[in-house]
């Protein structure tokens, strides 16, 4: 899940200010789960915009151009009349809506991370999209994401009593979790394995996946 949080109301008001007619697009997938861009939030924002608001719709997944075409096609009239679109989705969705409409887009949310939703109010980062998943050999716990330093070969000197120095020893040290997990699974040999430096060139420029 892509985890988002709403931008401060004052910031949204400031971005919307230059425009006369604003259409709102929500996200039926991640932002709905995060309660940041579902039906309810689209309605709330419409209320906030008052007369500037010219309608809104929740697109199943604003990051998927095929679904954007399908779902926004139904609101073509209102969309054409708007001079800006306020999008309640992750940054990917905002850009797809911008490309599709050619209109000014206003991000209503800040994109935080790829994570786990435990329950509302408890969301945790779990993946950095590093392009080279290590979870098999790290006991199902991602060091790239959950070690504050992204270390691949065990804990640093900042670990104390199983906790991480970043954040003041409140969070678990990822490498202690990995150690415990591998030990439980009888695979501790993997803990001691040397892992070579990551190939960061894959993340050094915008990625594209072009298979056909």
Q: Where does this chain bind other proteins (CB under 8 A)?
A: 148-163, 165-167, 169, 175-176, 179-180, 188, 191-197, 200
**Over the range 30-50, which residues count as b (16 or more CB within 10 Å of their CB) and which as e?**
bbbbbebbbeebbeebbeebe
Hey, what are 67's tokens? 């679904």
Q: Any idea of the CA torsion for 183, 186, 189, 192, to the nearest 10 degrees?
A: -10
Find the shortest distance in angstroms from Cβ 14 to other proteins. Answer: 23
Query: How do strand 2-6 and strand 109-119 relate by DSSP bridges?
Result: antiparallel
- Residue with smaller CB distance to other proteins, 120 or 204: 204
Find the shortest distance in angstroms from Cβ 201 to other proteins. Answer: 11
Return d(Cα 53, Cα 12) in angstroms, integer: 13
Hey, what are 4's tokens? 């988002």
Find the shortest distance in angstroms from Cβ 115 to other proteins. Answer: 19
Hey, what are 129's tokens? 């999209």
- Residue with smaller CB distance to other proteins, 102 or 197: 197
- Residue with smaller CB distance to other proteins, 23 or 175: 175
- Residue with smaller CB distance to other proteins, 204 or 209: 204
DSSP H or E stretch at residue 180: helix 174-184
> Under 8 Å CB-to-CB from 72, ≥6 apart: which residues?
25, 57, 59, 79, 97, 100, 101
Find the shortest distance in angstroms from Cβ 96 to other proteins. Answer: 28
Find the shortest distance in angstroms from Cβ 112 to other proteins. Answer: 16
- Residue with smaller CB distance to other proteins, 196 or 209: 196
- Residue with smaller CB distance to other proteins, 95 or 148: 148
């Amino acid at each position: 899940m892509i985890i988002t949080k709403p931008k401060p109301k004052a910031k949204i008001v400031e971005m919307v200010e230059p425009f006369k007619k604003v259409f709102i697009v929500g996200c039926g997938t991640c932002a709905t789960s995060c309660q940041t861009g579902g039906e309810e939030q689209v309605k709330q924002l419409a209320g906030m915009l008052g007369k500037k608001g010219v309608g809104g719709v929740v697109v199943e997944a604003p990051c998927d151009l095929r679904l954007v075409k399908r779902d926004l096609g139904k609101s073509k009239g209102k969309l054409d009349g708007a001079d800006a679109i306020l999008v309640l989705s992750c940054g990917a969705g905002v850009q797809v809506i911008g490309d599709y409409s050619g209109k000014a887009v206003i991000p209503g949310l800040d994109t935080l991370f790829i994570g786990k939703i435990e329950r509302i109010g408890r969301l945790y980062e779990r993946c950095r999209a590093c392009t080279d998943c290590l979870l098999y050999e790290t006991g199902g716990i991602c060091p790239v994401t959950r070690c504050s330093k992204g270390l691949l070969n065990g804990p640093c000197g900042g670990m104390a009593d199983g906790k991480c120095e970043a954040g003041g020893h409140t969070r678990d040290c990822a490498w202690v979790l990995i150690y415990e997990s591998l030990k439980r699974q009888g695979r501790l040999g993997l803990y001691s394995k040397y892992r070579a430096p990551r190939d960061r060139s894959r993340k050094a420029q915008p990625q594209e996946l072009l298979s056909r």
